[in-house]
Amino acid sequence: MTARIDGKDYDIIEGETILDIARRNDIYIPTLCNHPDLSAFGGCRLCLVKVEGFRAFVPACATPVQDDMVIETTEEDLDDLRRRILQLILSEHPSACIICADREECLDLHPDPTKAGRVTGCRFCPNRNECDLFDVVKALGVDDIWVETEYKDVPLYRRDPFIHRDYNLCILCGRCVRVCAEIRGVSAIAFTERSHDATIGTAFQGPLVDSSCVFCGACEDVCPTGSISSKMTRWVSIPEVTGKSTCVMCPAGCAMDVGFKWGRMTITEPSEEGENVAQACLKGRYCTVPLTNSKDRLEYPRVTTDGVLRPVKWETALETAVEGLKGFAPEEIGMIVSPSLTVEEAFLAQRIMRGLGSDNIAIASNMAGPMQKAWGGAMDRVAGIGTMTDIRDCDAVLIVGTDLSLTAAVTQVHVHAAWKDGASVFNVKIDPRKGYRHADVIEPDAYGPFMDILLEEVKAPGQQPHTPDRDAAGRIASALKDADKTAILVGPGAFRDAAEGTQVAKLALELFEAVNGTVLLPLWDGGNVQGVLEAGASRCLTPGQCIEQDSGKYSSGRNPLGEGIKALYLTHPVPEIPEGVEFVVYQGPFGSQVSERADVILPSSMFSETEGTVISLDGRVGSITSDARLPNMAKPDWKVFIDMGRALGLDGFDFEAVADITEAVGLPLEPGTHLPPGEPLPEGDRAVRVDDAVNPVGPWPCSATRYRGREIAEDVEDFLEVAASWGWDE
Amino acid sequence: MNRIITIEEEVPNVHKMVIDAPDVAKKCKPGHFAIVIPDEQSERIPLSIADWDEDAGTVTIYFLEVGVSTMKLARKVAGDEIDMMAPLGRESEIDNYGTVVVCGGCYGVGAIYPIVKALKEAGNTVVTIIEARAKYLLYNEEVLARDSDEIYTATSDGSHGTKGKAQTVMKDLVDGGRHFDRAYIMGCTFMMMRNARMAKELGIPSKVYLNPLMVDATGMCGVCRCDVGGETKFACVDGPEFDGADVDWEQLFKRSAQYVPHQTLAYQHKKCDIDHCGGV
Amino acid sequence: MEDIYKYAGKRLTPDEMKAAIASSRHAMTEQDAIVRSRNFEEVNLGYSIETAQEEAKRCLLCPVPGCVQGCPVRIKIPEFLSAIVEGDFLEALRIVKEDNALPAVTGRVCPQEIQCEGKCTHVKAKRESVGIGHLERFVADLERYSSEKLPVETAEPTGRKVAIVGAGPSGLTVAADLARSGHEVHVYEALQKPGGVLIYGIPEFRLPKELVFYEVDNLKQMGVQFHYNHVIGRIFTVDEMLDERGFDAVYLGVGAGLPRFMNIEGESLNGIFSANEYLTRNNLMKGYEFPTYDTPIYRGRNVAVIGGGNVAMDSVRTAKRLGAENAYLVYRRSRVEMPARDEEIHHAEEEGVEFHNLTNPIRYLGDENGWVRAMECIQMELGEPDDSGRRRPVPIEGSEFTLDVDAVVVSVGTSANPLLTKSTPGLELNRWNNIIVDDKGRTSKKGVFSGGDIVRGAATVILAMGDGRVAAAGIEEYLETGEWPDKVE
């Protein structure tokens, strides 16, 4: 099938609009309200085109193309009409600068936008380098406004966390409304009021924090003007240095574009490419930078002298640490590995402990231990099955133990895409938080018993007497069984108690097998739990997640927070230092009340300042790069581990660059690829291969509101407000 | 500490503040400025004095919200107290020159008032031109009209008066046969540069009011130094009024950009700080 | 009255004398050099009580104390040291405060090595002097921390009003003396905080600002009234103070704040600051706490400071603390001729400052955005002595070299700021705009006194305080007699 545009013939695809074909073939049609990822709106009317045989001009974005259609995209009347429409749009936007002849010279002399309370022109506008409105003005050659201009003079919405709204710049394109509803599935904002007063707003024009907004920033990305902008990056303008990295605030591992300016990290935005489909969440987008630039960062190595932690040189700190650790037998030393370390860093950490002859390593994660116990015995590796993208094709989605608001929040985008295609979504959770609005929410009394019931209903439905839980389970069971493809996601809420968590994990796997599921993913409570497991930094594991049961090489691994441990090497805060511990080395970017008790403090990096590899909850390998300058004397974790290893006189720390360490890990860590999924073992081969000591009972200071043990709210005050309004009580 | 009597947003982003300062009001002269410190952590910022009332003992300033300090000022309410050090700077050179043109933009639209008044009292024929991006950004017209023989407006988008800038009107008037003996130009650096260049082209000696970065404003630190006529001058004690034709504008722009990264990061930091928590 | 003489005329026993001669000076506890070069906490951590008493015992109680002669305000040093030995700390402080109103400050910033300590008898015998400065600081700090305070007596109000222009060291000293005598004292300060050079010039790591505020609070308790943000000469003049505002006398302690630039090519490039700007941003406006405090300060990676005095030392050590990887000190004369305090030079070296002595900048090179990126320098050698008696540095032909820098602090001295003097008719000035005074601090204008840097040119805190004492006595006399000389020189 073909259509003729401006005298040339083009092939068309069934279901396309005129705009689609034009875009595909690089034919320019001006648009403002249209966005390739969103449904057509037809609001701005700039894309009007002339179609032969049609009474009037039609919007190209909303007109399906037909075979033998003859289209003209430019013509005197049409162009004139477009310009007038554009001028109407400009009349309620502070447009004086857009059409000013001196604009270029003025902006050249003011390379960064002059920060202003109210934006009254391009010079003061944070969006001036990416303004879609200006692009269209330039393309259509508009240099005058024939109608009376007006400044709407509506109040600025400046008091919301993270997001700044200035509706005096809004051109009512509706992109923000559509992205919030269609891509994120939240619908926090909509067109409100009518006629001249029409504006975008929340229910009853309340603040965003009182609405269902999850502060993901998707609206900011699609806004063509500077109407919606991030409070933290509004004025920073174009970064001096940009790079591509991966976010480690949660295990979704979103691909991010990072920007540096004036010697510091200034922005993290979701990349166009990446399985997170150009989406992120409030933590990755808004919290990474303030945490990295926090004034509370540990800056100097410190050693306790006379009961006071005094700043010292690195050599002194390392010497003291070495001397301290060497004063204990290997079985008396324990290490806590942070799930925010990269694969290379975790690898080095376990190499230090094994070099010392100890296997008392635990990951600071409430989920890691129970999962190792449940899946470690039933699968070849503790790893999920399927990817986040696979969720989109599923017909039934079951989420247990979390609500996706802050835990791997980007997963909700994929769940929503599935829902739009007709999938049923069930959310089994106990906490009263926001949740995905289209989910069927079930609130059992306890997770473990509920999962039992659910499995029963799947295998032998309707056999037992009715109870509310059983009825709900029945609903879920039939949906799961009817579905062609099923996704099961298990989150941290179910792992507050280790025993219950183990039970839930085991049942989730059995459920997955019972319904022939497609996707089974652990929504870890740490950014790189998967990577740390792969690096072997946990008791009984070696790199590649090989379980070495008491091979005699190591001491019989103990609970690092249990009996008999006298020295601790912490890379993550613990709830409290156990009674018998005499010597503590603390390594991390932030202090905590536990680090106050440390004997040696080694200031290290945030994920945004180090280099290496991380693995997401669905086995995707992501790389981290950074141009950040660490505060004062702090060093990236991998360098600290190398220095420690060498100072301890251990072999195998001859690395100069991170790439060397990656090689030594010995896993297929090619960024962008997926590691193999977990392989369930045949029934007969299943056994409990790890015991309870593998991870001490929590609860750890790990939750969706923390990074490496540090409450995000301590450095990002706005986050506290958001979390509080959502009822996070951890 | 001086108490704020009133504060209001005249037009989008331009605020007018009336401050209780009886001793200062007695000494103010056209061309003077004040250093204002909104709070303990604030910077010391220079703001032109736009009016004063000796009897009421008050001083008036106009400012745009364009950074942390002006943001803090804009958030103040009547009754709050701020630190103010005034009057600073050299008095304007006022005499009877004949016919003078006074151009104001941004905060200058408010702050040229004392100069207009003084020139009128000295016997000049005063032609005032005020400019703004659009009609809704013009203010102070009636007040200025009282002491001007003629008053013109210019807007970038043509919504009021001439389409263009103050220098457009200046040129139009001269082209139409008017003669000006002197020009007085106050506004943002870009506006003053353009108008000073136009004045020079039209053969009119001009005076501009430079607003470089300042810290102490008593001639102690030298951050406000600028090249005027090949010599280094301190805008706080030798100015702020200088001959427009002699100013090295390029250097002024460059020097004003010294702390843009800091100012930007501070503004962001403070916006997150002050703006957060419930209510619109 | 007996109390004053309680510790006068004491002598050591032979055993004590032997022990004192054999003793060596107790070192001051300091922060580790590398660590302290990154923070603004005070470098010197102070003597403990035991150490202070041990150190005070080293004083030989010389019958003719050279130390007192060396002190510009003649503090009764052997007496206060004896008081420390006896554990009578409050008395020790009282003795010091008879002559010195700000011991916590002077104990930290005086160049003791050329004043009291330089004249110590131990030094004549090639031993280390008694740590007089450290002990002065000790007694002041102890009182500040303790709940037992030195009582301050003020006499009955006299009904006389005196205005002091400038809340710097000399102004505060005059205020203390006059308030004690019962006069109504008003101090007018241009900046928003008191202290003058103590607050804007000397960094936190040498002089914690809380000391200054503590002393000012003491003065307020004595009835002194402080008016900030008042630029005398602008908001009202000296004449108005005497004629309309009812002041019986005025003291001008406005300092020498006018920055000197070298007037070489490129000095207006971005990144080149006067030491006044650099230090004011950092100390008064707390630029190092940016963005908690709004005033920014530029944190260069390669910073060069031109000059050799205490201000240059302060600037270069501040640059290091602000995160400079390389901090250079460029001075045209040699190391021994540097006018800065020995301790500062020593501390700067320990902190990793790179000294380029016998070097002078010729011009600055900038990039396309107007930022300095390099400095062209030339080596110097010492030639014939100039008027000050120091050998004049002479450039060595052909020895030019370039230093990569992204910030430069020009610290080559300051001179009198004419802001006040220009608006005060009848005040005779010398050719450098310094005010001419006689030996009682009187200027050529009746009722107006002066002292400190505005009279001497840039000098030290203690000299300014000495001038303050002299002027205070002069003011007292004038308030009583009303006499004024016809000519003042």
Which residue(s) pair with B247 in the sheet? B228
CA–CA gap between residue A448 and residue A446 (Å, rounded): 6
Q: Residue C319 in contact with residue C288, Cβ under 8 Å?
A: no
B263 domain residue, yes or no: no
Q: What three-state secondary structure class fits C362? A: strand
> Crossing angle for the helix pair C310-321 and C342-350, nearest 10 degrees?
20
A231–B272 C-beta distance less than 8 A: yes
Same domain, yes or no, for B191 and B154?
Answer: yes
Whose structure tokens read 């006689």?
A: C438
Domain boundary among B65, B88, B111: B88
- In three-state secondary structure terms, C379 is strand
Measuring CA to CA, which residue among A257, A251, A255 is closest to residue A367? A251
Domain membership of residue B194 (yes or no) is: yes
C48 touches chain A (CB under 8 A): no
Same domain, B105 and B34: no
Chain B residue numbers with beta carbons less than 8 Å from the beta carbon of C280 are: 215-216, 220-221
Interface of A with C (CB under 8 A): 263, 295, 299-300, 310-313, 632-633
Q: Which of residues 344-383 of A touch B (CB under 8 A)?
A: none
Minimum-distance CB partner of A96 among B65, B156, B261: B156
Q: Which of A683-692, C240-249, C309-318 has the lowest mean pLDDT?
A: A683-692
A-chain residues near C34 (CB < 8 A): 313
As a CATH number, domain A2-126 is 3.10.20.740
Q: Which fold has domain C161-256+418-456?
A: FAD/NAD(P)-binding domain (3.50.50)
Question: Residue B80 and residue A385: Cα distance in Å, rounded?
Answer: 62
Give the range among A378-392, C2-16, C298-312 with minimum mean pLDDT.
C2-16
Q: How far apart are CA A645 and CA A344, in angstroms?
A: 14
If you average pLDDT over residues B1-27, what whole number do you get? Answer: 94
Which tokens hold the place of A472? 């709900």
Would you call A151 and B260 a contact, using CB atoms and an 8 Å cutoff? no
* Same-domain pairing of B53 and B178: no
Q: HSE-up of C413 (CA within 13 Å, CB side)?
A: 11
The answer to whether the beta carbons of residues A602 and A587 sit under 8 Å apart is yes
Percent helix, strand and coil across chain A, each rounded to 5?
Answer: 30, 15, 50
Quick one: B125 and B182 in the same domain? yes
| pLDDT surpassing 60 at residue B278 | no
CA A679 to chain CA centroid, nearest Å: 26
CA distances from A334 to A342, A561, A702, B187, C485 (A): 20, 7, 19, 67, 85
Domain boundaries for CATH 3.40.228.10 within chain A: 376-525+713-725
Q: Is the same domain home to B104 and B239?
A: yes
Do B84 and B106 reside in the same domain of the chain?
no
**Secondary structure of A300-338 as H, E, C letters:** CCEEEECCEEEECCHHHHHHHHHHHHHCCCHHHEEEEEC
Q: What is the CATH number of the domain that holds B246?
A: 3.40.50.80
Phi, psi of A723 (to 5 degrees): -60, -40
- Put simply, the answer to whether C35 touches A632 (Cβ < 8 Å) is no
- Name every residue whose Cβ is closer than 8 Å to that of residue C113 and which is 6 or more positions away in sequence: C341, C342, C343
**Chain B residues lying within 8 Å of C231, measured CB to CB:** 85, 88, 218
Interface test with A, best of C30, C31, C35 (most A CBs within 10 A): C35
**For residue B146, how many other CB atoms are within 10 A of its CB?**
11
Average pLDDT over every residue of C352-358: 94
Q: And the tokens for C20?
A: 């004192």
Residues 187-226 of A with CB under 8 A from B: 205-207, 209-210
Q: In order along chain A (730 residues), what is the average pLDDT of each group of 10 residues?
A: 92 91 94 94 94 94 93 93 94 91 86 86 90 94 89 88 93 96 94 91 90 93 93 85 94 94 88 92 92 88 84 90 95 93 96 91 89 87 94 96 88 95 94 84 93 94 90 94 95 89 94 94 94 89 73 62 91 90 95 88 95 95 90 92 96 94 92 91 78 60 84 86 77
Domain with CATH 1.10.1060.10 in chain C: 2-145
Instruction: Give the β-pairing of B206-209 and B241-243.
Output: antiparallel
pLDDT of amino acid A555: 44
Q: Which two tokens stand for residue B277?
A: 């928590």
Q: Is A192 helix (H, G, I), strand (E, B) or coil?
A: strand
In sequence order, what are the residues at sequence separation of 6 or more whose Cβ sits closer than 8 angstroms to the Cβ of residue C476? C177, C178, C181
Give the mean pLDDT of chain B.
91
| Residue in C34, C299, C323 closest to A313 by CB | C34
Instruction: Write down the CATH superfamily of domain A376-525+713-725.
Output: Dimethylsulfoxide Reductase, domain 2 (3.40.228.10)
Count Cβ atoms below 10 Å from residue C465 Cβ, excluding itself. Answer: 29
Identify the band that residue C181 occupies on the pLDDT scale cut at 50, 70 and 90: very high
In this structure, what DSSP letter does residue C44 have?
B
Q: Please tell me the distance in Å from C315's CA to the nearest CA on chain B.
A: 14
Inspect the interface and report whether the beta carbons of B216 and C236 lie closer than 8 Å: no
Residue B279 included in any domain? no
Domain count, chain B: 2
Q: Give how far B16 is from chain A: nearest CA, Å.
A: 14
Of A369, A698, A380, A407, the closest CA to residue A502 belongs to: A369
B261 chain-A contacts, CB cut-off 8 A: 261-262
Q: Which residues contact B271 (CB under 8 A, 6 or more apart)?
A: A158, A164, A231, A234, B71
| Alpha-carbon span A404 to A418, nearest angstrom | 15
Helix (H) or strand (E) holding A377: none
Alpha helices in C41-125 (DSSP H): 49-56, 66-70, 77-85, 89-99, 103-109, 121-124
Average the pLDDT over C412-423 and give the result: 90
The residue among A373 and B145 whose pLDDT is bigger is B145
| Long-range CB pairs of A23-27, under 8 A, 24+ apart, other chains included | A27/A73
Residue B261 lies in a domain: no
ipTM: 0.89
Does B107 lie in the same domain as B78? no
Interface mutation target, options C295, C409, C453, chain B, most CBs of B under 10 Å:
C295
User: Looking at the partner chain, which of A263, A295, A300 has a beta carbon nearest the beta carbon of C35?
Assistant: A300
On the question of pLDDT at C1 being above 80, the answer is no
3-state secondary structure of A278: coil
CATH code of domain C261-412: 3.50.50.60
Q: Answer yes or no: is pLDDT of B47 > 60.
A: yes
Q: How many Cα atoms sit within 13 Å of C143 on the Cβ side?
A: 26
- Answer positive or negative: Cα dihedral of B236, B238, B240, B246: negative
Helix, strand, coil content of chain C in percent (nearest 5):
35, 15, 45
Q: What order of strands is seen across the sheet that includes strand B241-243?
A: B162-163, B150-155, B125-132, B99-105, B182-186, B206-209, B241-243
Q: Does A145 reach chain B within 8 Å, measured CB to CB?
A: yes
Q: What does DSSP say about strands C249-252 and A333-337: parallel, antiparallel, or unpaired?
A: unpaired
Quote the pLDDT of residue A561. Answer: 87
- Let me know whether B71 and B178 are in one domain: no
Plot region of C412 (φ>0 → left; ψ -120 to 50 → alpha; else → beta): alpha
Distance CA C168, CA C152 (A): 21
Fold classification of A302-365+541-681 (topology level) = Rossmann fold (3.40.50)
> How far away is chain C from the Cα of A184, in angstroms, using its nearest Cα?
35
* Torsional class of A205: left (φ above 0), alpha (ψ -120 to 50), beta (otherwise): left
What does the buried/exposed string (b/e) look like for A363-378 if buried means 16 or more CB atoms within 10 Å of the residue's CB? bbbbbbbbbbbbbbbb
C-alpha closest to that of A637 among A683, A604, A591, A684:
A604
Q: At which of B66, B88, B110 does a domain end?
A: B88
- B170 and B75 both lie in a single domain: no
Question: Same structural domain for residues B147 and B73?
Answer: no
Burial of C98 per CB tally in 10 Å (0-12, 13-18, 19+): middle
C294, B69 Cβ separation under 8 angstroms = yes
Q: Same domain for B223 and B161?
A: yes
Q: Looking at the partner chain, which of B155, B267, B280 has a beta carbon nearest the beta carbon of A115?
A: B267
* Domain C2-145 part of CATH 3.40.50.10890: no
Q: Is B125 on the interface with A (CB under 8 A)?
A: no
Q: Are A346 and A532 in contact (CB under 8 A)?
A: yes
Supply the CATH number for residue B34's domain. Answer: 2.40.30.10
User: Residues of chain C whose C-beta is under 8 A from some C-beta in B?
Assistant: 190-192, 200, 228-231, 234-236, 257-259, 261, 263, 267-268, 270-271, 273-274, 276-277, 280-281, 285-286, 290-298, 369-370, 417-419
Q: How far apart are CA A315 and CA C316, in angstroms?
A: 26
**In a 3-state reduction of DSSP, which class is residue C482?**
coil
Closest CA to B226 of C190, C373, C304, C370: C370
Sign of CA dihedral B24, B25, B27, B30: positive
The residue among B119, B106, B261 whose CA lies nearest residue B189 is: B106
User: Which of A145, A205, A234 shows the shortest C-beta gap to B157?
Assistant: A145
Q: pLDDT > 90: what percent of chain C?
A: 72
CB-based contact C257 B232, cutoff 8 Å = no
Q: Residue A407 and residue A425: Cα distance in Å, rounded?
A: 17
Residues 6 or more apart whose Cβ sits within 8 Å of residue A176: A189, A200, A219, A222, A223, A228
Whether residues B249 and B114 share a domain: the answer is yes
Tell whether B131 is covered by a domain. Answer: yes
Structural domain including B53 reads 2-88
Cα C279–chain centre separation: 14
pLDDT level of residue C266 (50, 70, 90 thresholds): very high
Domain with CATH 3.50.50.60 in chain C: 161-256+418-456, 261-412
A259 vs B contacts (CB less than 8 Å) = none
Question: Distance between CA A446 and CA A450 in Å, rounded?
Answer: 6
Integer angstrom CA distances of residue A315 from A324, A603, A646: 14, 13, 12
DSSP A51-79: ETT-SS-EETTT-B--TT-EEES--HHHH
Query: In this structure, what token pair is assigned to residue C192?
Result: 């928003």
pLDDT category, C158, cuts 50, 70, 90?
A: very high
Per-residue pLDDT at A232: 83
